[in-house]
Amino acid sequence: MIQNEKEFIGWIDRQLNEELLGHIVAFNINIHESPFNIEVVGSSEFDPDNEDWACNEDWVPENRLISVSNAIFGNSLREAQDNIVAMAKQYFHSSSKNTHKLKTAKTFTVGFVDGNLSYVQ
């Protein structure tokens, strides 16, 4: 379970440590509610005018889902997404070993499944 920013950064770095199969050009962190879980997926396509690109799961890590504490979820879906975006931005701008995989992609987003995306990059 992810309970803080340090655990989030460790989790996403481990996920991105796996080999990226195919030509992955975009990444998305999916947020699931009830229970509150997240996963990172990669897509071989990106369309800034159509968020459905994030439904393409051309790359998924072996251990997809991880639960997230209620403290990170906060009091609303908006707060939950904002908190995950803030942690994703911290990771993106860090010197962690796998941030280059996100920085070379066309985009990196966060969003609830069936919801709107927030751009990290």
The CA distance from 113 to 115, in Å, is: 5
Task: Give per-residue pLDDT as tens, 15-30.
Answer: 999 998 779 999 999 9
pTM: 0.95
Cα dist. 47→73, 86, 89, 100 in Å?
A: 28, 23, 21, 21
**Per-residue confidence (pLDDT) for residue 21, from 0 to 100:** 75
**Per-residue confidence (pLDDT) for residue 106, from 0 to 100:** 97
Tell me the domain boundaries of the chain.
5-112
Whether residue 111 is predicted with pLDDT greater than 90 in this model: the reply is yes
Cα dist. 3→12, 68, 75, 81, 108 in Å?
A: 13, 6, 15, 15, 22
Task: Give per-residue pLDDT as tens, 27-71.
Answer: 999 999 988 999 999 999 999 999 999 999 999 999 999 999 999
**Per-residue confidence (pLDDT) for residue 22, from 0 to 100:** 73
pLDDT band with cut points at 50, 70 and 90 for residue 76: very high
